[in-house]
Amino acid sequence: MWGALRQKSGLTTLVSSLKHGQVLERFAPMASTPLRQLSTAAKEMTVRDALNSAIDEEMSADPKVFLMGEEVGEYQGAYKISKGLLQKFGPDRVLDTPITEAGFTGIGVGAAFYGLRPIVEFMTFNFAMQAIDQIINSAAKTYYMSAGQISVPIVFRGPNGAAAGVGAQHSQCYAAWYGSCPGLKVLTPYSAEDSRGLMKAAIRDPDPVIFLENELLYGESFPVSAECLDPSFCLPIGKAKIEREGKDVTITAFSKMVGYALQAAQELEKEGISAEVINLRSIRPLDRATINASVRKTSRLVTVEEGFPQHGIGAEICTSVVEESFEYLDAPVERITGADIPMPYAANLERLAVPQVEDIIRASKRACYRAVPMSAVA
Amino acid sequence: MTTMSTARIPPASSPCIARKPKASSNTGKLPRVYVKPGWLRKDLMGSNLRFSEFRSAKLPCSPLTVSAIASASELVKERIETKSELLVTREEGLELYEDMILGRSFEDMCAQMYYRGKMFGFVHLYNGQEAVSTGFIKMLKAHDSVCSTYRDHVHALSKGVPARAVMSELFGKTTGCCRGQGGSMHMFSKEHGVLGGFAFIGEGIPVALGAAFSSKYKQEVLKDEKANAVTVAFFGDGTCNNGQFFESLNMAALWKLPIIFVVENNLWAIGMSHIRATSVPDIWEKGPAFGMPGVHVDGMDVLKVREVAKEAVARARRGDGPTLVECETYRFRGHSLADPDELRNPAEKAHYAARDPIVSLKKYLIENNLANESDLKSIEKKIDEIIEEAVEFADASPLPQRGQLLENVFADPKGFGIGPDGRYRCEDPGFTAGTAQV
């Protein structure tokens, strides 16, 4: 399955290199067919617009939905995701909060107890650490502690993971932290279609949802089908998407790493390795069925994530595959993760600290028992 | 500064222990009570402790006007005249008495059951603080909400959760108000508007604020006229040094939310004295700093608490915003049943034991001919029966089934832990009892 790919490096502005392709969700063309443009792949949309339109439509449809966070109103959103919403819905529904994460997260949770549907924006999920008590103890656990009396239909959203040169305190990926907590649903969209569909599903969901976006993806454009633009469009929570079908090695990724994995798959194709790329979309619940089915087909696994290696998403996927599809594995499972260090600032060090396309290519070749150099090239 | 490890109790001979002005009438009726901010606290803490400047070293008994409280003067006025007007009717008085007796008997029974092994884990008892719970919660309507801390049994009872449901929950039985999944510290009841039950101090305050926010949102955005619920957030003195407390005060005043912050200042956070932990121990003073009235009230007197509650709730319901009420109270037992309670001065305990709210109310009712001994005795008997029945019910109730373990994690569990055949992924296909509401 081909998505539109973007090249990006460091702090340079986005450069588009559009690849044509079908945008049907479920089926993929044969991997090696020449590029074809079908009538469904007409419009393009950035992730930013996708999120904005999804929130806009859900707020129009249900008056109980409201948005709250720092700079979401008059500033039009720290990353302009909530642009125009204040003008459209007014200050009662788009609330600029003081810089009090624990306080306003708790307010959102309490409002959700009473049937309102807040969307709480964190400027980045790093700041959500100040509110993590409310997220875990008040939001995630309440439905269980109250034995089903009080549900918490809240969405926590914001950018997650590394951006460009923002340093250690602004670059952590929280997918593994939230993914280990029962009571939360954790979503990681990649494309515009993912963003729209999963955001709508998250807002309509009666449980707390952690919606991990990526700052560097906000400006990227992806083709969207007419179905995707429909206001009732929704993607199921807990289902991964096979972005590209293949038969030699399974590469799982989420968020920005999906783009890298697709690029790596393209490169591997030239060397005769057909890679299947799975866009996880949902960290919790993890779509183990799809991952295992894919590994049973290809017999090799490479997981890619941007976060820290220990106890990461890759660790969970590898274990799941070893537990369920051990006999099908032809090679040891491979994990590509961020480096086990706080994120450095220098541009070249930062590049070394997050996975690059070459790392994915090397790991896939290792899984296929091709000879590769072990160390990265600085 | 000398040691600040214990609050100093004024000697018994000091006339300032009295919390009412000298009774000028000698009709046998108690003078009209009034709320006096601050001077009680001063007496309690002794003279070698730092104080706000305006609280000068005058005669301890002279009434002091506090400039900060003057800003909230529409909330509580100093009642200097002792009109012999009763504060409660007979029905109200008996209702208050019954509620406090229920709280006290329930907590005493909890202690018994804990030592017999029927209850386990953390249990925090409310003995001595009943006046605060009863005084506030009995002023609320059914659709108002209450948010509490781990010391939440009596808040749940006052709000209307049946004693048998609370007792079962404490025993960990499936008939508990949270089916045994919450426990002592996590009492939730959607029906009665009890929002828990939070173990982390300060955690419940923003959640209570959210409930108040939802009330305002429903009125203003969803145009629901009937959504005028107010929220009362109960928390302790230790919480008042926590960031979430201040964040919540700020936002409550900023957005004028219908909430009442009730500080149950029992002077001790486990073994940490409030004076040792706080730079400015007058918690009520922190209200005006955020733009809301701050009131100090004697939390051992249910009638005084009720007077303050009446005004604070009316204020919130009118849309005038939040109020911070500091109730000076005391817990007769330790922080929890595991706390040996060695740090508190026995003289301090005795001082407050003498001000037992139940005894005070009883005295008031009898002296003002609102009730006689036999009325009160029959209430006590009735409560005893209720508690006994609650224990029997809890004892007889079944433990939760195995299948309940995985239930109620999500309101919409599809996709989570569900295999391709649509059933929970588990070796035992009959694992879930299917009793969860999905």
Query: What is the mean predicted confidence (pLDDT) over B264-271?
Result: 91
pLDDT of residue B16: 35
pLDDT of residue A374: 63
With a cut of 50, which residues of chain A have pLDDT below it? 1-38, 378
pLDDT of residue B216: 95
Q: B339 to chain A nearest CA, in Å? A: 25
Q: Of B195, B221, B416, which is closest to A113 when you measure between CB atoms?
A: B195
Structure tokens belonging to residue B36: 């006096």
pLDDT > 60? residue B40: no
pLDDT digits (tens, 9 = 90+) for A67-122: 999 999 999 999 999 999 999 999 999 999 998 999 999 999 999 999 999 999 99
Give the separation between CA A295 and CA A252, rounded to whole angstroms. Answer: 10
CA neighbor of A268 nearest in space, from A290, A299, A296, A246: A246
pLDDT > 60? residue B73: no
pLDDT of residue B65: 36
Q: Kindly indicate the confidence band of residue B86, based on its pLDDT and cuts at 50, 70 and 90.
A: confident
Q: A66 to chain B: which residues are within 8 Å by CB?
A: 217, 221
Catalytic site residue from A170, A305, A306, A316:
A170
Q: A271 to chain B nearest CA, in Å? A: 36
Decide if A206 and B222 are in contact by the 8 Å CB cutoff: no
pLDDT of residue A113: 96
DSSP symbols for A214-262: -GGGTT-EEEE-HHHHSTT----TT--EEEE--SSEEEEE-THHHHHHH
Average pLDDT value for chain B? 80
pLDDT of residue A4: 39
pLDDT > 60? residue B84: no
Give the separation between CA A86 and CA A96, rounded to whole angstroms. Answer: 10
Query: What is the mean predicted confidence (pLDDT) over B297-324?
Result: 96
The enclosing H or E element of B234 equals strand B231-236
Q: Of A92, A133, A143, which is closest to B411 when you measure between CB atoms?
A: A143
pLDDT of residue B1: 37
Query: What is the mean predicted confidence (pLDDT) over B367-386?
Result: 95
Q: A25 to chain B nearest CA, in Å? A: 18
- DSSP label of B420: T
Task: Count the alpha carbons within 13 Å of A174 in the hemisphere toward its beta carbon.
Answer: 28
pLDDT of residue B197: 86
Nearest CA in chain A to B219: A92
pLDDT digits (tens, 9 = 90+) for A177-204: 999 999 999 999 999 999 999 999 999 9
Q: A111 to chain B: which residues are within 8 Å by CB?
A: 210-211, 213-214, 217
Domains in chain A with CATH codes: 43-229 (3.40.50.970), 241-368 (3.40.50.920)
Q: Is A20 a catalytic residue?
A: no
Write the single-letter amino acid at A160.
N
pLDDT of residue B85: 76
Q: Where are the beta strands (DSSP E) in chain A?
A: 5-7, 15-17, 43-46, 65-69, 94-96, 117-121, 155-159, 185-187, 209-213, 221-224, 241-244, 249-253, 275-279, 282-284, 301-304, 334-336
Give the separation between CA B214 and CA B228, rounded to whole angstroms. Answer: 10
- Interface A–B counts its CB contacts (< 8 A) at 166
pLDDT > 70? residue B438: no
More confident residue, B343 or A133: A133
Q: B179 to chain A: which residues are within 8 Å by CB?
A: 147-148
- DSSP label of B246: H
Query: What is the mean predicted confidence (pLDDT) over B68-86?
Result: 47
pTM of the complete model: 0.77
Domains in chain B with CATH codes: 90-396 (3.40.50.970), 402-427 (no CATH)
Q: Is A170 a catalytic residue?
A: yes
Residue with tokens 């209850």: B119
pLDDT of residue A37: 45
Task: Count the alpha carbons within 13 Å of B115 in the hemisphere toward its beta carbon.
Answer: 7
Give the separation between CA B240 and CA B278, rounded to whole angstroms. Answer: 9
Instruction: Count Cβ neighbours within 10 Å for each residue of A3-30 and write b for 16 or more, e otherwise.
Output: bbbbebeeeeeeeeeeeebbbebeebbe
Sign of the Cα pseudo-torsion (B227, A139, A256, A364, in order): negative
DSSP symbols for B276-335: HH-SS--GGGHHHHTTS-EEEEETT-HHHHHHHHHHHHHHHHHT---EEEEEE---SS-S
Q: How many CB atoms lie within 10 A of CB B57?
A: 8
